[in-house]
Amino acid sequence: MLTLYDYLPSQNAWKVRLLLNHLDRPYRTEIVRIFEGEGQRPDFLAVSPTGAVPALRLADGRTLAESNAILTYLAHGTPYSPADPFGQAKVQQWLSFEQDHVASIATLRHWTLTGKLARRAPALVERLRRVAHKALAILERELAGRPFIAGDTYTIADMALFAYVHRADEAALALADHPHVVRWIARVRAQPGFLGTVYPYSIDPFSGGELP
């Protein structure tokens, strides 16, 4: 059976839970208390070199880290990954966009919800806000012309982007200013097997601290 190394408030880990739910694939969970330093244990670093969650252990013992790499592996041969090389490349294009641009939303959200925003340099916060606003504007433009980000069908690219984009209001980024994004969010939520559970940082009393 698959083992998912998880931290429940992480939307990066939620991406993987979402796909596993879509696939109705069983797995076991091992919680990693990242703010208590468990991500830096040597045994976990052997699984995830950066000490970040999520990570995945296969039934045969092989391991895989980084949420989008895990999505790519799990989606292979399923309806959530295109069969043709160009379609696969388009999905990878948007997975890269998620890591390069939407990560700014994730960071701002985390800092806001855990009380860290005031401890960050104003110039850094402003730079991340510019990147986040640009990311939402790009998605608004792209989603004006098609139902899902990589084409006509729902893929892991949508799952990856949705994880933090649909929580952008929690980073003080107004989703209402992006109506095509809002309609796309509704389409993702309507997919069979959608996983609506989101865990707040407040379940972890250590989340207000800095990562080791």
pLDDT, one tens digit per residue, over 151-171 is 999 999 999 999 999 999 999
Look up tokens 């698959």; give the residue.
Answer: 2
Which helix (H) or strand (E) segment holds residue 52: the answer is none
**Residue 56 burial (C-beta neighbours within 10 Å; 0-12, 13-18, 19+):** buried
What tens digit of pLDDT does each residue of 105-130 get? Answer: 999 999 999 999 999 999 999 999 99
Neighbours of 8 (CB within 10 A): 17
Task: Check: CB of residue 187 under 8 Å from CB of residue 148.
Answer: yes
**pLDDT for res 151:** 97
**Residue 20 burial (C-beta neighbours within 10 Å; 0-12, 13-18, 19+):** buried
Tell me the H-state helices in the chain: 11-23, 42-45, 67-75, 85-97, 103-113, 122-143, 156-165, 179-189
Which helix (H) or strand (E) segment holds residue 48: the answer is none
What's the CA gap between 99 and 103, in Å, rounded?
5
**pLDDT for res 44:** 98
**pLDDT for res 107:** 98
In which order are the strands placed within the sheet that holds 2-6?
27-31, 2-6, 55-57, 63-65
pLDDT (tens, 9 = 90+) of the chain, 212 residues, equals 999 999 999 999 999 999 999 999 999 999 999 999 999 999 999 999 999 999 999 999 999 999 999 999 999 999 999 999 999 999 999 999 999 999 999 999 999 999 999 999 999 999 999 999 999 999 999 999 999 999 999 999 999 999 999 999 999 999 999 999 999 999 999 999 999 999 999 999 999 999 99
What's the CA gap between 157 and 155, in Å, rounded?
5
Task: Check: CB of residue 13 under 8 Å from CB of residue 6.
Answer: yes
Of 146, 185, 193, 188, the C-alpha closest to 169 is: 185
pTM of the predicted model as reported, rounded to 2 decimal places: 0.97
Neighbours of 116 (CB within 10 A): 15
